[in-house]
């Protein structure tokens, strides 16, 4: 929805001769406009958007569902990568997740999943290993009722609330606020072993992130 704050997960970042650095991705929520100051999570890098393009045409604004490229000032290609999320610097900017709690359903795992399990999470455009630090509860997957506190493990068909810690800087959001950034697939052994939705996120404040000159003036 366009009335929510901007979230645009990057699919790629290009260097285009004569233009500069151009991140590419789909607007999931909010609006992206030229002249806007954006903050990229998880790094906190903040800069001005010079132009926004879709299918080689300049846009005055990009809306949810639009796949766009946008040119950013004074940012090196190496400072941005797939999985970073662009957001408006003045409206709930995207931040690194310190940890998050998810409701997970185990689907195709041959064994048992316990504390310390560290599979890859596919969430929006990021693929990052995440540690299951604590299985908080086992729940009934239909009613959501709690069946057991702090179970030792979960197996196929089980659902649970799990506290997760990313192994690398990562941006996620709660499903209730930003649905496309709040659902994920859990991958292991080259298949999807579980799916989940994020119930709450503890965020880190960026330390010493770069703010480009043009962004600082705004």
Give the model confidence (pLDDT) of 40-50 as tens digits: 999 999 999 99
Q: pLDDT value at position 121? A: 97
Task: Give CA–CA dist 173/79, Å, rounded.
Answer: 22
Inform me whether the pLDDT recorded for 214 exceeds 80.
Answer: no
- Residue (of 31, 34, 44) closest to 75 by Cα position: 44
Cis peptide before 42 (omega within 30 of 0): yes
Instruction: Please list the helix, strand and coil fractions of the chain in percent, rounded to the nearest 5, in that order.
Output: 5, 50, 45
Which residues are bridge partners to 110 per DSSP? none
CA 100 to chain centre: 12
pLDDT at 215 over 80: no
The residues, any chain, with a CB within 8 Å of residue 2's CB and separated by 6 or more, are 29, 30, 31, 63, 64
pLDDT of 162-210, one tens digit each? 999 999 999 999 999 999 999 999 999 889 999 999 999 999 987 666 7
Confidence of residue 1 (pLDDT cuts 50, 70, 90): low
Q: Which domains does the chain have, with CATH numbers?
A: 8-95 (2.40.30.10), 97-203 (2.40.30.10)
> What pLDDT, on a 0 to 100 scale, did the predictor assign at position 144?
87
pTM across the whole model:
0.92
Which tokens go with 67? 């796949």
Rg (CA), the chain: 19
On whether the CB atoms of residues 167 and 129 are closer than 8 A, the answer is yes
CA angle 116/81/169 to nearest 5° reads 30
pLDDT digits (tens, 9 = 90+) for 90-146: 999 999 999 999 999 999 898 999 999 999 999 999 999 999 999 999 999 889 899
26-76 pLDDT tens trace: 999 999 999 999 999 999 999 999 999 999 899 999 999 999 999 998 999
Torsion angles phi and psi, residue 213, rounded to 5: -60, -45
**Euclidean distance between CA atoms 5 and 214, whole angstroms:** 22
In whole angstroms, what separates CA 196 from the centre of its chain? 14
3-state secondary structure of 38: strand
Distance from C-alpha of 218 to C-alpha of 216, rounded to nearest angstrom: 6
């Amino acid at each position: 929805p366009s009335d929510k704050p901007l979230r645009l997960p990057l699919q790629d970042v290009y260097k285009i001769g004569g233009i500069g650095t151009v991140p590419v991705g789909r607007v999931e929520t909010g609006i992206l406009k030229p002249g806007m100051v954006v903050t990229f999570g998880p790094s906190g890098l903040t800069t001005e958007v010079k132009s926004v393009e879709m299918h080689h045409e300049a846009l005055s604004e990009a809306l949810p569902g639009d796949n766009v490229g946008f040119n950013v000032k004074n940012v090196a290609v190496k400072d941005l990568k797939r999985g970073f999320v662009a957001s408006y610097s003045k409206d709930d900017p995207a931040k690194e997740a310190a940890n998050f709690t998810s409701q997970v359903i185990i689907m195709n795992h041959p064994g048992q999943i316990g504390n310390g399990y560290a599979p890859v999470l596919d969430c929006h455009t990021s693929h990052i290993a995440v540690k299951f630090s604590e299985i908080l509860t086992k729940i009934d997957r239909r009613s959501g009722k709690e069946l057991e506190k702090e179970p030792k493990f979960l197996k196929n068909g089980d659902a649970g609330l799990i506290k997760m810690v990313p192994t690398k800087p990562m941006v996620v959001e709660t499903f209730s606020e930003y649905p496309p950034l709040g659902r994920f697939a859990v991958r292991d052994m080259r298949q999807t072993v579980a799916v989940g939705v994020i119930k709450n996120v503890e965020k880190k404040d960026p330390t010493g992130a770069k703010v480009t000159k043009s962004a600082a003036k705004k």
